[in-house]
Amino acid sequence: MSRTPEQVKQASKARNQASTKLRRMGYRFAKQSATEAEAVAAIHRMTGWPLPERGDAIEYLQRFASMPEGEPAPGREFKPLHAEPYRLDRWLRYAAARAAQVQCPLVHAVSAVDNWRRLEVDA
């Protein structure tokens, strides 16, 4: 399934626009010019969009290039603010208690400036 000369121009333009936008967003390609497959893979990693079917990469690249830049792609990472509180089970509590018994008492270190200020205030 070969592309017509018009589709080749369109694909090259879409690839250049998408790779330029990816570089502005902080993505670094291995080489100076990115291939179509590299640009599609980078977009997939950044946005989480499903990969295009074979031959549909032009629309995929155009859609990414036309997306407003100020709007961040939705993240798929774990959000700790919405996580339920962590509860230690019985075995971890036991291990933490044993570790606390074995651990040497901590020595609190402070700076000489802090000690000097305390001596001035006390005097």
The pLDDT, as a whole number, for residue 113 is: 59
Encoded tokens for 5 = 């000369």
User: Cβ distance 41 to 48 under 8 Å?
Assistant: no
**Closest CA relative to residue 43, chosen from 28, 17, 61, 66:** 61
Residues 15 and 61 in one domain: yes
pTM of the entire structure?
A: 0.52
Full domain range(s) for residue 94 = 86-122
Residues 51 and 102 in one domain: no
Residues 53 and 12 in one domain: yes
User: Would 73 be classed as within a structural domain?
Assistant: no
Residues 10 and 52 in one domain: yes
Residues 62 and 103 in one domain: no
User: Would 71 be classed as within a structural domain?
Assistant: no
Residues 60 and 98 in one domain: no
- Which three-class secondary structure state does DSSP give residue 109? coil
Encode the chain (123 residues) as per-residue pLDDT tens digits.
578 888 889 888 998 999 988 888 888 888 878 888 889 999 998 888 899 888 788 899 999 898 877 655 566 666 667 667 777 788 888 888 888 888 877 666 655 556 556 666 555
Scored b (16 or more CB within 10 A) or e, 23-59 reads eeeebeeeeeebebebbbebbeebeeeeebeeeebbe
In this structure, is the dihedral angle defined by the CA atoms of residues 87, 90, 96 and 100, taken in order, positive or negative?
Answer: positive
Domains in the chain, number: 2
User: Would 36 be classed as within a structural domain?
Assistant: yes
Residues 60 and 92 in one domain: no
Residues 18 and 62 in one domain: yes
Residues 10 and 58 in one domain: yes
